[in-house]
Amino acid sequence: MSLILACMGLRCNYRGQFSRAQLLMPVLKMTQVTILTLFYFGSESGFHFLLVQAIAYSFIVFRADQRFVKGLIVALTVLLFLMCEYLSLTDLYLTESKQSFMLVSVFFFIALYFSIVIDLVMSRLKSVNQHLRVLAEKDELTGLSNRRKVLADAVNIFADSVINHDTCVFAIVDLDHFKKINDTYGHEAGDFVLAKVSAKMQSVIRTTDKIGRYGGEEFIILMPKTKLAQAELVMEHLRQTIAALTIETEQGIIIPVTISIGLAPITTEVTRYEEILASADKGLYAAKRSGRNRVSVSPDFQD
């Protein structure tokens, strides 16, 4: 039964049900040690000292906000230890000759128990690290990659493109007249617009492309293995989609939004990804000067 319960705990752990798994394991350990001490080995064997594992477990696995559960486990462990010390039977179910075989069986179970506990702790650490990684790489407002993450993607895509001699295009996207939106409707409405536009851009770009918030109302889109002409078509489709987007606030206010986009491809003369971003920024300024709500290739690459 202990082995079955241990496997259930392992299954809960792999399914991400950490709360069930972390509560099942100490209960299993306390129950097993108590029954074996009271009915099989007796208090003279000192087997009940293994209950200290449950106390150590409670301090290692349970979080700081789980003080009640941690305290309950410790209190029950102490109570069970005292019960084993003073209430164990004199007529045991196992003779002394058979106890050695049972001890070997218990040894293997304890080894399995510790393996499950370590796996549980490592799974919790991996889950926490993954959550922290997401927080460190995601922009809180838009849900897109933040500046640090999208620039890291730019480095990797640039390096891969150079090494493999692939085409690649970087784009910088800017919301037109965003300051006017903030001044007219308020910063809360501005944040609402950013979130809506970001979600729409994420749904429109190709699965192979990367997008992230560059800062303020600016975004970077990275298009690996893409030629400049193809990138212009993709970004023009994005521009039209945003221009047709209806953004309505909770107060029923319709806020029109358009975007300007600057493009720059990777060439053999480029040695750093920052040069591509600088060229794409020139394309963005060209789009702004031409009246906004348009896609412009950097002047560095125009015939």
- Confirm if 167 and 226 have CB atoms less than 8 A apart: yes
* Top-confidence residue, 64 or 116: 64
Cross-strand partners of 205: none
Q: Is pLDDT of 209 > 90?
A: yes
Q: pLDDT tens, 161-199?
A: 999 989 999 999 999 999 999 998 889 999 999 999 999
* Top-confidence residue, 110 or 69: 69
pLDDT band at 251 (very low <50, low <70, confident <90, very high): confident
Q: What residues have CB less than 8 Å from 8, skipping those under 6 apart?
A: 24
pLDDT value, residue 278: 93
Q: Which residues are catalytic?
A: 217
Burial class (CB in 10 A: 0-12, 13-18, 19+), 142: buried
Q: Is pLDDT of 238 > 70?
A: yes
Q: Is pLDDT of 229 > 90?
A: yes
Mean pLDDT of the chain: 85
* Top-confidence residue, 51 or 219: 219
Residues 268-302: b if buried by 16+ CB within 10 A, e if exposed: eebeebebbbebbbbbbbbbbeeeebbbbbbebbe
- Confirm if 29 and 57 have CB atoms less than 8 A apart: yes
pLDDT value, residue 41: 76
pLDDT value, residue 16: 67
Quick one: what percent of the chain has pLDDT higher than 90? Answer: 42
Q: Is pLDDT of 220 > 70?
A: yes
258 φ/ψ angles, rounded to the nearest 5 degrees:
-135, 165
Q: Is pLDDT of 303 > 60?
A: no
- Confirm if 266 and 276 have CB atoms less than 8 A apart: yes
pLDDT band at 97 (very low <50, low <70, confident <90, very high): low
Q: Is pLDDT of 55 > 60?
A: yes
pTM of the model: 0.62
- Confirm if 151 and 221 have CB atoms less than 8 A apart: no
pLDDT value, residue 26: 80
pLDDT band at 120 (very low <50, low <70, confident <90, very high): low
- Confirm if 267 and 157 have CB atoms less than 8 A apart: no
pLDDT value, residue 96: 64
Q: pLDDT tens, 2-40?
A: 777 767 776 776 676 767 777 777 888 788 888 888 887
SS3 286: helix
pLDDT band at 58 (very low <50, low <70, confident <90, very high): confident
For residue 265, count other CB atoms closer than 10 A to its CB: 23
